Structure 1
Amino acid sequence: MKKYRVAVIGCGSIARFRHLLEYQANPNVEIVAVCDIVPERVKETAEQYGAEAFTDYQALLEQVKPDIVSVCLPNYLHAPVSIAALEAGAHVLCEKPMATSYEEGLAMIEAAKVNDRQLMIAHNQRFVASHQKAKELIEAGELGKIYSFRTAFGHGGPEGWSIDGKESWFFKKDEAFIGAMGDLGVHKSDVIRYVLGEEFTEVAAMVETNAKDDSNVDDNAVCLLKSESGVIGTLTASWAYNTNEDNSTVIYGEKGTLRLEDDPKYSLIANYTDGRKVNYELGQIQSNDAGGQTSSHVVDHFVNAIQNDRDPLITGEEGLKSLNIILAALESSETGKRVKIN
Structure 2
Amino acid sequence: MSQSETRIGLIGAGYIAAWHADALRATPGVSVTAVCDVSEGAAKGLADGIGAKAFTSVEDLIASGACDAVHILTPPHLHKSLAIQCLEGGLHVLVEKPVAESAEDTRAIQAAAEASGKRFQAGHNFLGMPSYVRMKEAMARGDFGRVSGAEINWCFPLAPLRSGPFGLWLLREPKNLLLELGPHLMGFAVDLFGPPEIHKVELSKPINLPGDDTRFQGWRILASAGGVDITFTISLVETTDDRSVTLRGSSARARFDYAADTLIVDTENTSDLVVNPLKRQMALGWQHMREGIGNAWVQFTSLNTKQPYALSFRGMDAAVYGGLNGAADARFSGQTAVTVMQALDDALALVPSEQLTAAPPVVKTRDPKPTAMVIGGTGFIGRALTRRLVADGYDVRVLSRGKTGPFPDLPDSVETVGVSLHDRDGLVAAMQGIKVVFNLAKSMDKTWADALQNDVGVAMRIAMAAEEAGVKRLIYTGTIASYDMSDRNGRITEATGFPDNMEDRNMYARSKAECERRLMKLHRERGLPLVIARPGIVVGHGGPLQHWGIGRWHGAGAVRIWGPGKNALPFVLIDDVVDGLVRMIDTPKAVGESFNLVGDVQLSARDYFDAIYEALGARIKVVPGNLTMFYLSDAVKYALKKYALRKKGVIRPSLADWKSRAHFTPFVNDKPKEILGWTPVSDRKTFIEGAITHANLFGF
Please confirm whether the aligned pair reaches a TM-score higher than 0.5, indicating the same fold. yes
Aligned residue runs from structure 1 range 1-342, under 5 A? 2-16=4-18, 18-64=19-65, 66-157=67-158, 159=160, 166-173=166-173, 178-195=175-192, 197-207=193-203, 210-211=206-207, 213-214=209-210, 219-229=217-227, 231-240=228-237, 242-261=238-257, 267-272=263-268, 277=280, 279=284, 280=287, 281-282=290-291, 294=311, 296=313, 297-306=315-324, 308-312=325-329, 313-334=331-352
Shift of 1:76: 1.2
- SS in structure 1 of the partner of residue 242 of structure 2: coil
More displaced 10-residue stretch of structure 1: 80-89 or 140-149: 140-149
Higher relative contact order (CA 8 A, sep 6+): 1
More displaced 10-residue stretch of structure 1: 83-92 or 199-208: 199-208
Query: How many Å separate the matches in 2 of 1:142 and 1:60?
Result: 48
Query: How many Å separate the matches in 2 of 1:181 and 1:188?
Result: 10
Distance 1:34 1:199, change over 3 A: same
- SS in structure 2 of the partner of residue 180 of structure 1: helix
Query: How many Å separate the matches in 1 of 2:143 and 2:123?
Result: 29
Contact 2:33–2:66 (CA under 8 A) maintained in structure 1 = no
- SS in structure 2 of the partner of residue 73 of structure 1: coil
Contact 1:171–1:179 (CA under 8 A) maintained in structure 2 = yes
- SS in structure 2 of the partner of residue 37 of structure 1: coil
Contact 2:127–2:312 (CA under 8 A) maintained in structure 1 = no
Quick one: which amino acid aligns to residue 204 of structure 1? Answer: K
Distance 1:128 1:151, change over 3 A: same
1:301-330 CA distances to partner (integer Å, 9 max, x unpaired)? 222122x42212310111111122211111
Query: How many Å separate the matches in 1 of 2:11 and 2:112?
Result: 18
Tell which structure's C-alpha radius of gyration is larger.
Answer: 2
More displaced 10-residue stretch of structure 1: 296-305 or 265-274: 265-274
1:112-162 CA distances to partner (integer Å, 9 max, x unpaired)? 1111112211112212233222222222223332222211012222749xx
Shift of 1:48: 1.4
Q: TM-score, normalised by structure 1?
A: 0.83
Distance 1:219 1:243, change over 3 A: closer
- SS in structure 2 of the partner of residue 149 of structure 1: strand
- SS in structure 2 of the partner of residue 247 of structure 1: strand
Contact 1:209–1:216 (CA under 8 A) maintained in structure 2 = no
RMSD: 3.2
Distance 1:93 1:290, change over 3 A: same
Query: How many Å separate the matches in 2 of 1:126 and 1:264?
Result: 14
Unaligned runs of 5+ in 1: 337-342
1:248-294 CA distances to partner (integer Å, 9 max, x unpaired)? 122222223222229989532232375685554456699xx959654
Query: How many Å separate the matches in 2 of 1:4 and 1:250?
Result: 36
Aligned residues: 323
More displaced 10-residue stretch of structure 1: 59-68 or 99-108: 59-68
Shift of 1:89: 1.0
Distance 1:165 1:35, change over 3 A: farther
Distance 1:51 1:116, change over 3 A: same
Q: TM-score, normalised by structure 2?
A: 0.42
1:340 equivalent in structure 2 = none
Contact 2:127–2:316 (CA under 8 A) maintained in structure 1 = no
Shift of 1:166: 5.0
Query: How many Å separate the matches in 2 of 1:265 and 1:142?
Result: 19
Contact 2:11–2:72 (CA under 8 A) maintained in structure 1 = yes
Query: How many Å separate the matches in 2 of 1:128 and 1:273?
Result: 29
